[in-house]
Structure 1
Amino acid sequence: MTLEQRVGQTLMVSSPVTGADADSLYALDTLYVGNIFMAGRSAVGQAGIGAEVAAITGHVSGSRTEGARPFVATDQEGGFVQIMRGPGFAQIPQAIEQGQLSPAELLREATVWGQELAAVGVTVNLAPVLDTVPSAEFAPLNAPIGTFGREFGYTPAAVSSHGLAFAQGMMDAGVEPTVKHFPGLGRVTENTDVSAGVTDGITVRNDTYVAPFRDAVNAGVPWLMISNASYPRIDPNNMAPFSRIIVHDMVRGDLGFKGVIISDDICNAVQVSSVPVSQRGVLFLEAGGTMALCTNQGLMPQMYAGMVDAARTDPAFAATIDAAALLILQQKQAKGLID
């Protein structure tokens, strides 16, 4: 693979679930971006959504990617966060409601939900949420998670038992679950998507709220997503996606995770707006990340160019790109995504 192709493997670009737009196609056809996030909302059901997935994945194949087909991701948590709906898709309840099921029952339900995704060509679900919200009383104040009922419960044990059941169901269906948002968004009051300066001043490196992520890693989950918040008691100098302490030392070191470390969206998120777009992918991979997620396809050219330029001028970063691309290709080979 060329350098440009290797950089592309470390990127995931959004494409509307209702049909690709010009920016998405440019990222895939010209920039060699090798992975797709189906974004937005659609209620047309399996037939229509499956056709859209097939159409967009056709742009990531052949000589441009050396036969490596894309990981296709979506957000299918349930409740307010369910991108794919309509005939052939269950109406998935909020995680707080899923938490009222027994783990065994949730495992059975999640397996069905995963099978529905697999049927339309989705290979990665950016779920489950393993953030622990401290209490039902605090939940309405917790803008990214509790406000939307995205938490499985109010203790790490409840989050772990039900989050792992959800993740195992996805894996049983052949879909890669992604545990998020490490090291946790349950204690913040603002949402990194729409606010800057979002900070968790409580969580520490060996925090009990990290336990669900550790349990998930020990259970073999293949993907882990990094929060965009700041955690000054862990790293006072860097937001989580750009913190080597959090991404490398904690995820790779403390947890022993060997799978794909994906960013949360680092294109549209207001939290990271102070960092030039061209540097966000560079900084995430330098921190130890594997794949940078960009949900504003119009900004992908800036992120891509920054990473290519850095790899051309910095041998150390070129080696970082090589290692990340190799890990992704190994995962694709294991999933049968390399021709």
Structure 2
Amino acid sequence: MKISEDPERTVRRARSTRIPRLLIALAVTTVAAAGCGDVQTGAVGPDRSASASAAPAAGASPAASSCVGRVLAGMSRSQRVGQLFMGAVSAGPGTTVGTERAQVAELKRHDVGSVILMGPVRSGLSGVRRVVGDIGQLDLSVAHAAVGTLVATDQEGGQVQQLSGAGFTDIPSAQVQGAWTASRLRQQAAVWAEELHEAGVRLDLAPVADVVPVSIGRANGPIGRYDRQFGSGPETVGGQDSAFVRGFGQAHVLTTLKHFPGLGRVRDNTDTTVGVTDTTLTRDALDLNSFRTGIAAGARFVMVSLATYTRIDPAHRAVFSATVIDGMLREDLGFDGVVVSDDLGNAAAVQAVPPGRRALAFLRAGGDLVVTVDTDDVSAMTSAVLDAMRSDPTLRTRVDASVRRVLAAKQAAGLMACAA
């Protein structure tokens, strides 16, 4: 998108008016036309995708369900697969506009429907708006509908806050937030969400729902070391998760509970370490209640971890486990939203697995949205899925069910609208 005299106003107006304008154009067009080891390579378990998994999200209005169905029916196979990927766009210090636009162009070549902003981005609201304006090139028009691009970031607080500068609050760590009352956290979360919404970001990859026991504390590499936990018990964590989710909901910004089924009891970080394993967590562990509570509060996304849980599924990492995704998350917790992977691009935990097989294994285990912070992996990943779909009807059914969930989430975020 070309930015004119006032960059901030132009991008803000473009993001808020893109869908209505595109719908008008579509209506005019319509009138004119009328005149490895742990990687599963096959289908997993009982396939629920043709029935319950393919159904609209609970509580969806008939109109919303109809819009999702119409858009899905009008999509090409490449566009459907593209909706199941979240690629990275770098916007931090030292990133040139040329690099950023090259990343957007690469994502566009593969019809990618979601983007994670990588930083840290210290240029404030105006800088983020400009980047989001460029990302708007990925928006689609399908079946007389406008389908926007879902832009996400990691905005937890403390040491994990990707967006900062003028217009963004300096958010304290989750450990500090955990000491607040639920009402105060909800109020503050609504403010942080308004800032993201104003910047064009509609999904926060937060809050952390992991429970870090006092006995482990900072020895927990991925969470405790960085004060990312709300507390040391599932009741406290679940209560604060819920407040965070509800606060963000007030500003119509979606949230993500992470890292299911929990990284609070491991020592090493899956981003930097191979073979991270939890030997204590069970399928009925109390720690899971923090996720259960967050889901009940309205979280539409749950991120699955890259660790292995020996007392749940010793043969597969959680992100590749049907037991974890279809069994625990879908069946046990009743989650019908979008299951998103932890990073399947640069994370050390998955480097031994070829990129295409990472994406396929996650989708076949029941996942919906593949995250990769390595843009170069997108081609191999999307190609692998498209190739496999040609001979795998079960995968095709799963892909359609996942696209429905992603589109429903976009609609809830105000990123998709169908012409009347």
TM-score, L = length of structure 1: 0.96
Unaligned runs of 5+ in 2: 1-74
- After superposition, where does 1:87-236 map in structure 2 within 5 Å? 87-135=166-214, 137-236=215-314
Deviation, 1:121, is 0.5
List gaps (5 residues or longer) in structure 1. Answer: none
Q: Does the 8 Å contact 2:111/2:138 carry over to 1? A: no
Where do 4+ consecutive residues of structure 1 move more than 4 Å?
A: 63-66
**Which of residues 403, 406, 409 is equivalent to 1:325?**
403
Read off the aligned partner of 1:304 and give its amino acid letter. T
1:86-128 deviation per Cα after TM superposition (whole angstroms, max 9, x unaligned): 0110000010011111111111111100000000001000000
1:16 matched to 2:78 = no
Other-structure match for 1:302: 380
Counterparts of 1:115 and 1:336, CA distance in 2: 14
Residue 77 of structure 2 is matched in structure 1 by 3
Larger Rg: 2
| Gap change, CA 1:23 and 1:306, over 3 Å in 2 | farther
Alpha carbons of 1:24 and 1:65: their partners in 2 closer, same or farther (altered >3 Å)? farther
* Structure-2 separation of matches of 1:59 and 1:236: 39
Residues 8-33 of structure 1: CA distance to partner in whole angstroms, max 9, x if unpaired?
A: 00111010134563552233221001
AA at the equivalent of 2:112? V
Partner Cα distance (2:106, 2:410) in 1 = 20
| Contact 2:101–2:134 (8 Å) recurs in 1 | no
Distance 1:234 1:138, change over 3 A: same
Structure 1 residue 42 displacement after superposition: 1.3
How far 1:143 moved relative to its partner? 0.5
- Which residue does 1:26 correspond to in 2? 105
> What is the aligned counterpart of 2:391 among 313, 318, 322?
313
Instruction: Spell out, residue by residue over 1:202-251, the C-alpha distance to the aligned partner (whole angstroms, 9 max, x if none).
Output: 00001011010011112221111101110010001100000000011111
Identity value in percent: 39
When structure 1 is superposed on structure 2, of 50-59 and 108-117 the one drifting more is 50-59
Q: Any idea what SS the aligned residue of 1:134 has? A: coil
- Opposite residue 2 of structure 1, the aligned amino acid is S
Greater Cα shift, 51-60 or 202-211: 51-60
Letter in 2 for 1:78: G
Following superposition, the deviation at residue 65 of structure 1 comes to 11
Q: Could you tell me which amino acid in structure 1 is paired with residue 87 of structure 2? A: V
Deviates more, 1:44-53 or 1:239-248: 44-53
Q: Is the 8 A contact 2:138 2:148 kept in 1?
A: no
Q: Which among 337, 355, 373 is matched to residue 259 of structure 1?
A: 337
TM-score, with length taken from structure 2: 0.78
**In the aligned structure 1, how far is the partner of 2:130 from the partner of 2:105?**
20
CA deviation after TM superposition for structure 1 residue 64, in Å:
11
Name the aligned partner's letter for residue 389 of structure 2: A
* 1:120–1:64 Cα change, 3 Å: farther
Aligned pairs (5 A) from 1:28-107: 28-62=107-141, 67-107=146-186
The one-letter amino acid of 1:138's match is I
